[in-house]
Amino acid sequence: MKNLLLLVIFTTHLSFAQDKVSTYKFGQNGMELIARSPSGTVIISTFNAKMTIRQDIARKIYDLYKDHKISGNTRLTVYGKEANVMGKCYIKTKNNLTSVEFYYEKVSWNNGLVEVYENIKTSHEVVAMKTN
CA distances from 4 to 16, 36, 63 (A): 19, 64, 52
In a domain, 76, yes or no: yes
In a domain, 88, yes or no: yes
Is 46 within 8 Å of 54 (Cβ atoms)? yes
Residue 110 is part of which domain span? Answer: 19-131
Tally of structural domains, the chain:
1
Phi, psi (degrees; rounded to nearest 5) at 66 = -60, -35
Per-residue pLDDT of the chain in tens (132 residues, 90 and over written 9)? 666 655 566 565 555 555 588 889 889 999 999 999 888 999 999 999 999 999 999 999 999 999 999 988 899 999 999 999 999 999 999 999 999 999 999 999 999 999 999 986 544 444 444 444
